[in-house]
Amino acid sequence: MRRSTRIAPSILSADFAALGAAVDCLVAAEADYIHIDVMDGHFVPNLTIGPAVVQALRKRTALTFDVHLMISPLDPLLPDFLDAGADILTVHAEAGPHLHRSVQQIKQAGCRAGVALNPGTPASAVDAVLGDIDLVLAMTVDPGFGGQGFLRAQCTKIAELRARIDESGRTIDLEVDGGINEGTAAEARAAGADVLVAGSFVFADGPGGCAGRIRQLREAAP
Ligand code: DX5
Ligand code: ZN
C-alpha cells in the first residue's frame, strides 16, 4: 500500500545563527523529519554542518534527524555522525568505493541507512544494496546548494527507483531532494516519491512561515 507523503524540511535554508530556533519551529510545524545537509567543500562545492552541530540540535527534539552526508571520504566520519544522534544517515553512492561497508557501519550502530544518487547516476546503482537499506534519496539537483531548479527529467529515474523498491518487497523510503515547491512536489509524488525534502520553499517566509509552507506541500502532494 502507498504510504502517505512525509515532509523533510532542510535546515540548510534556515538562518545559521539561529538553527536551534529553526528546529523548534519545524517541530511545532509538525514536520515529519528534519533534513540536515552536511557538505564538505570537496565532494560538493560548499561547507556546512558538522557532527558537533548535529549533536547540539539533538538536544532540542526527538523528531527524526535525516542526515544527508555529501562528504568524501565518508567512512572516517561516520562514527561521529552516528554518535551525534542521526536517526537516518544517508551516504552518496558516488562518494566512495565501499558502499556496503558504509551501509553496514550505519546499520550496526542501530541507525537507518540511506543511499543517495546524484542526477547523473543511474537507478541501477542501488541494486546491490537494496536488501540492506531503509531509504533511497534521489537528487533532483546536483548537490551543493539550496535554491536550484528541479531537474524534471529525473522523474523518470524516480519512477524506476519506485519500481525497484516495490519489487524488493522491503519497506524503503523514496526521498526526493532539490527544487521542491508546491508544483514540483506533486510531480515528484506522482513519479513515486514518499518523502519530500524542501529547503528554500519551506523557509521562504522565515521560520514563522514554516507551518504554512509545510501545509502547502502536504496539500499539493498528499
Ligand atoms: C542540495 C541539498 C538539498 C537542498 C534542498 O545539495 O541536499 O537538501 O538544500 O534545497 P532546496 O529545497 O532549496 O532545493
Ligand atoms: Zn539534502
> Which ligand 1 atom minimizes the distance to the CA of 143?
6
Q: Would the pLDDT of 190 be above 90?
A: yes
In this prediction the pTM is: 0.98
Q: What is the pLDDT of residues 135-182, one digit of tens each?
A: 999 999 999 999 999 999 999 999 999 999 999 999 999 999 999 999
- What pLDDT was estimated at residue 1? 57
Per-residue pLDDT at 12? 98
Choose the residue to mutate in 7, 10, 48 for probing ligand 1, maximizing ligand atoms within 8 Å of C-beta. Answer: 10
Position 66 pLDDT exceeds 90: yes
37 is catalytic: yes
| C-alpha to C-alpha distance for 44 and 62, rounded to whole angstroms | 29
User: Nearest-CA neighbor of 197 among 3, 35, 22, 38?
Assistant: 35
* pLDDT exceeds cutoff 80 at 2: no
What does the DSSP assignment read for 154-201? HHHHHHHHHHHHHHHTS--EEEEESS--HHHHHHHHHHT-SEEEESHH
Query: How high is the mean pLDDT of the chain?
Result: 97
Number of the ligand closest to the Cα of 68: 2
Mutate which of 43, 70, 177 for ligand 1 pocket (most atoms within 8 A of beta carbon): 177
- Ligand 1 pocket list (CB less than 6 A): 10, 12-13, 35, 37, 68, 141, 143-148, 177-180, 197-201
Question: How much of the chain exceeds pLDDT 90, in percent?
Answer: 98
Residue 133 has pLDDT above 70, yes or no: yes
Task: Give yes or no: 127 in active site.
Answer: no
Residue 153, phi then psi, degrees to nearest 5: -65, -15
Q: Determine the pLDDT at residue 129.
A: 98
pLDDT on residue 3: 82
Per-residue pLDDT tens digits for 92-126? 999 999 999 999 999 999 999 999 999 999 999 99
Positive or negative torsion for Cα 87, 143, 171, 11:
positive
The pLDDT of residue 51 is 98
